[in-house]
Amino acid sequence: MDKLFPKSYKQETKPHLFCPGCGHAAILKQLGEAIDELGVQKNMALGIDIGCSLLAWNFFDIDTAQTHHGRTASVMVGYKMARPERLAVAYMGDGGAYAIGLQSLLHAVLRNEPITVIVVNNENYSMTGGQKSPTTRKSAEGGDLRGFKGPEMISHLAAKNAWVGRGSVGNPRQLRVLFKKALANQMENKSFSFLEVLSICPVNWKTDAAASFERLKEMEKIYSLGEIKIDDEKN
Ligand X SMILES: Cc1ncc(C[n+]2csc(CCOP(=O)(O)OP(=O)(O)O)c2C)c(N)n1
Residues interacting with ligand X, by CB under 6 A? 49-53, 69, 92-96, 100, 120, 122, 125-128, 133
19 makes contact with another protein (CB under 8 A): yes
Q: Which residue is nearest to ligand X (CB)?
A: 93
Total residues at the site for another protein (CB under 8 A)? 32
10 makes contact with another protein (CB under 8 A): no
C-alpha–C-alpha distance, residues 176 and 26, integer Å: 11
Instruction: Render 140-208 in DSSP notation, one character per residue.
Output: TTSS------HHHHHHHHS-TT-EEEEEETT-HHHHHHHHHHHHHHHHHT-S-EEEEEE---HHHHT--
**104-133: contacts with another protein (CB under 8 A):** 127, 129
Partners of 194 in beta bridges: 117, 164
Partners of 193 in beta bridges: 116, 163
**37-56: contacts with another protein (CB under 8 A):** 55
Do 89 and 76 contact (CB within 8 A), yes or no? yes
C-alpha–C-alpha distance, residues 227 and 235, integer Å: 19
Would you say 51 or 114 has its CB closer to ligand X?
A: 51
Q: How far is the CB of 22 from another protein (least distance, A)?
A: 6
Element (H, E) at 77: helix 72-82
Beta strands in the chain (DSSP E): 44-48, 63-66, 87-93, 116-121, 163-168, 193-198, 226-227
Q: How far is the CB of 17 from another protein (least distance, A)?
A: 5
143 makes contact with another protein (CB under 8 A): no
Spatial CA neighbour of 130 closest among 62, 51, 196, 42: 51
Question: Which among another protein, ligand X, none contacts residue 5 (Cβ within 5 to 8 A by kind)?
Answer: another protein
Question: Which among another protein, ligand X, none contacts residue 40 (Cβ within 5 to 8 A by kind)?
Answer: none
Q: How far is the CB of 220 from another protein (least distance, A)?
A: 15
177 makes contact with another protein (CB under 8 A): no
Q: Which of 213, 215, 220, 231 binds another protein (CB under 8 A)?
A: 213
16 makes contact with another protein (CB under 8 A): yes
C-alpha–C-alpha distance, residues 106 and 157, integer Å: 8
Residues that bind another protein (CB under 8 A): 1-2, 4-5, 9, 14-26, 29, 55, 127, 129, 172-173, 202-204, 206, 208-210, 213
